[in-house]
């Protein structure tokens, strides 16, 4: 499938917003057209690349007697699947936290395990654990944050769904915590392809079926 066209320079805030909206529309269409089999295969390959880096970090923290904390997501139907990643993290002794959508475009975090009760989020097609809620400080010393995105550019700029939840979270997260976006291979775009607003926050890396790349 052709890569979404890069967006050129934009002059003002309205132009940036419009350009991002157009890019999101193209990316969402491409995701809807991706077959479940292709999604599963690409997700599995991406997790293998991610685990080659993340697994030893989790093991090292566990060996030190620390319960490593890793954040990931319960994905939407069209997003890369994180099921294998979550299972590996739990098997390795990590504590897995997933986001919960809160008012005022904020995220809180909830522990996840296979038996955790979940409910559909009020304003997004995702499931969320029911019960304990933690603030962003629960991830202040996390081993990694593996987050969703519609696309990531080679300069690290991330395009989300448009709510600004992760940008607010990243603004509070210590820079020492590695952040990696999990996307499909055709969603890694050239530097400058994602127009940025002042509140947008970049990620440290992006992982696809082709590998883990630090940006």
- Crossing angle, helix 83-91 and helix 36-63, to 10 degrees? 20
Six-digit token string for 199: 């509140």
Neighbours of 111 (CB within 10 A): 16
Query: Residue 2: is its pLDDT beyond 80?
Result: no
b/e 23-62 (16+ beta carbons within 10 angstroms → b): bbeebeebbeeeeeeebeebbebbbebbbebbeebbeebe
pLDDT value at residue 124 = 84
Domain boundaries, given as residue ranges, for the chain: 13-214
d(CA 98, CA 197): 26
Six-digit token string for 195: 């127009």
CA distance readout (Å), 177 to 51, 70, 110, 136, 140: 17, 10, 18, 12, 7
Tens-digit pLDDT profile for residues 147-202: 999 999 999 999 999 999 999 999 999 999 999 999 999 999 999 999 999 999 99
Positions at the binding site: 20-24, 74, 79, 158-166
d(CA 149, CA 139): 19
pLDDT value at residue 10 = 38
Domain 13-214 has CATH 3.40.50.720: no
Question: Residue 11's pLDDT band (boundaries 50, 70, 90)?
Answer: very low
CB–CB of 163/150 below 8 Å?
A: no
Positions at the binding site for ATP: 20-24, 158-166
Tens-digit pLDDT profile for residues 59-89: 999 998 888 999 999 999 999 999 999 999 9
Q: Phi then psi for 211, rounded to 5 degrees?
A: 145, 180
Sign of CA dihedral 152, 180, 176, 124: positive
| Region at 171 (left for phi over 0; alpha for psi -120 to 50; beta for the rest) | alpha
Positions at the binding site for substrate: 74, 79
Nearest to 145, CA basis, from 170, 113, 110, 168:
170
Tens-digit pLDDT profile for residues 94-137: 999 999 999 999 999 999 999 999 999 988 889 999 989 999 99
Neighbours of 71 (CB within 10 A): 25
d(CA 189, CA 151): 7
């Amino acid at each position: 499938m052709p890569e979404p066209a890069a967006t050129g320079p934009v002059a003002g805030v309205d132009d940036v917003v419009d350009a991002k909206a157009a890019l999101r529309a193209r990316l969402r269409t491409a995701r809807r057209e991706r077959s479940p089999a292709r999604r599963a295969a690409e997700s599995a390959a991406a997790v293998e690349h991610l685990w080659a880096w993340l697994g030893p970090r989790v093991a090292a923290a566990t060996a030190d007697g620390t319960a490593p904390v890793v954040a990931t997501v319960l994905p939407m139907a069209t997003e890369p699947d994180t099921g294998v990643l979550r299972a590996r993290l739990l098997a390795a002794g990590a504590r897995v936290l997933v986001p919960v959508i809160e008012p005022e475009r904020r995220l809180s975090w909830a522990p996840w395990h296979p038996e955790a009760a979940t409910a559909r989020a009020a304003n997004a097609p995702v499931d969320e654990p029911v019960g304990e809620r933690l603030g962003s400080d629960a991830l202040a010393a996390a081993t990694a944050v593996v987050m969703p995105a519609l696309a990531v550019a080679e300069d690290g700029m991330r395009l989300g769904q448009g709510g600004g939840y992760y940008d607010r979270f990243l603004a509070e997260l210590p820079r020492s915590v590695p952040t990696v976006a999990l996307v499909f291979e055709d969603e890694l775009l050239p530097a400058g392809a994602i127009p940025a607003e002042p509140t947008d926050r970049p990620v440290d890396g992006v992982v696809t079926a082709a590998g883990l790349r630090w940006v």
